[in-house]
Structure 1
Amino acid sequence: RAGRTPRGAGEASVAENEPARNKLVQAWGVFGVVAYLSYGIAKVVPIVLEGLGSIEEPWQWGLLAVTLLFFAYVEGYKGFQLGFSPRVVSRGWVVSQEAAEAPFWHKVLAPAFCIGYFHGTTKRVITSWAVTTVIFLVVVGVRQLANPYRAIIDAGVIVGLMWGVISIIVLYVQSLQTEKPPEFDPALPEDTPYMAPPSA
């Protein structure tokens, strides 16, 4: 019939329009963030192991359980799995594009690009830096607490960070298998040289 698009023509057209990507840059961006979070976990683990040994009361164990559940849901599930992690992977696909006008330093600082510290919407960049600042201030404040309370809060932080690391890796592997990024807005600025993912 006249005007009918042949089967598969749409998919072929999309594939032809897909920009070339550098897989090494993509992996560097995503796993650079994973390494950043893992470093945070490694620094806190010894503090937690030492501090939990000072728990003496049953209610303190109960406080630990509640804290772990709270951080798992708020930081791990809502913060990382539903927001941070898919954004990191989505922006990892973006920064890996071999766009002619894209600055080379974007590739060098791909992990920071994936987090959203630069080359994002104004809201995205401000939010990324604000969240990092708040986390830093919380860390400084928690250091002032005596054990076991410092260890209890840090244990919750570990759970949240581990959730984040795992969710990033899972989403990235899934994106490689499906050959497309997560359906999540990478929050690119209007003057970006990159092509937004079709799913965005």
Structure 2
Amino acid sequence: MNWIATLWGILGVTALIGTAIHRLYLKAEVALSGDYALTTTHWVVMIAFSLFMLVAEGYRGFQKKFSPRTAARTHFLYNNTTPKRLILAPFFCMGYFDANKKTRIISISLTLGIILLILLMRLIPQPWRGVLDVGVVLGLSYGLISYFCFLIKVFTKKDHGHSPEMP
């Protein structure tokens, strides 16, 4: 049961991030397809925003916070599976329940913030939406890779040094 919960947790987190990458990639691809005549301003914004998202979302958001915590919680799940954690493994790994108060607040707040940003992004016309989505795709891809790297670390090193932030 431990491996099933762990695999479900990893696959669920991966599917959530991977689906977002795929959907945003399709929007970015539209902007880059040649149907729109991208100006120098579009390219400069795309490059600048992509670099910003790689640092802010990929490095600071994922590599420094989300990925180590989520990987540690995935490892904790392997060692402490319950029926509730098995069924809701991806949500446990992301810190929505059985986490300290700060982690739960951060997880829920980030989710609400992301939903709001998604709704606002829908108002931006192409090619600008696609130009911005390039940066988000890069940041999310960096984040997913960092999650996999931390998973390897927590499952191969006895003292991986990352807290699952349990109550």
TM beyond 0.5: yes
1:44 corresponds to 2:27 = no
> Deviations for 1:122-172, whole angstroms, at most 9, x for unmatched residues?
121111011010011001101101112111111111111101111111111
**2:50 alignment partner in structure 1:** 68
Once superposed, what is the RMSD of the aligned Cα atoms?
Answer: 1.7
Report SS of the residue matched to 2:79: coil
Q: Tell me, in whole angstroms, the C-alpha distance in 2 between the residues paired with 1:181 and 1:31.
A: 24
Amino acid at match of 2:110: V
1:25 corresponds to 2:24 = no
Mapping for residues 1-200 of structure 1, pairs under 5 Å:
22-52=2-32, 53=34, 54-98=36-80, 103-178=82-157, 180=158, 182-189=160-167
| Rg larger for | 1
Q: Tell me, in whole angstroms, the C-alpha distance in 1 between the residues paired with 2:131 and 2:160.
A: 34
Larger RCO: 1 or 2 (CA < 8 Å, sep 6+): 2
* Unpaired segments ≥5 residues, structure 1: 1-20, 190-200
TM-score by length of 1: 0.77
Q: Aligned-pair distance for 1:26?
A: 2.0
Contact 1:86–1:182 under 8 Å retained in 2: no
Contact 1:30–1:88 under 8 Å retained in 2: no
Amino acid at match of 1:169: F
Q: Structure 1 segments of 4 or more deviating over 3 A?
A: none
**Alignment CA distance shift 1:65-1:42 (3 Å):** same
Amino acid at match of 2:148: I
More helix by share: 2
Contact 2:75–2:154 under 8 Å retained in 1: no
Q: Percent identity?
A: 31
Q: Aligned-pair distance for 1:181?
A: 6.5
Number of equivalences: 165
Amino acid at match of 2:68: P
Q: Tell me, in whole angstroms, the C-alpha distance in 2 between the residues paired with 1:132 and 1:35.
A: 15
Q: Aligned-pair distance for 1:98?
A: 4.1
TM-score by length of 2: 0.91
Q: Tell me, in whole angstroms, the C-alpha distance in 2 between the residues paired with 1:55 and 1:24.
A: 49
Contact 1:93–1:181 under 8 Å retained in 2: no
Q: Aligned-pair distance for 1:45?
A: 1.3
Q: Aligned-pair distance for 1:72?
A: 0.3
Contact 2:4–2:86 under 8 Å retained in 1: no
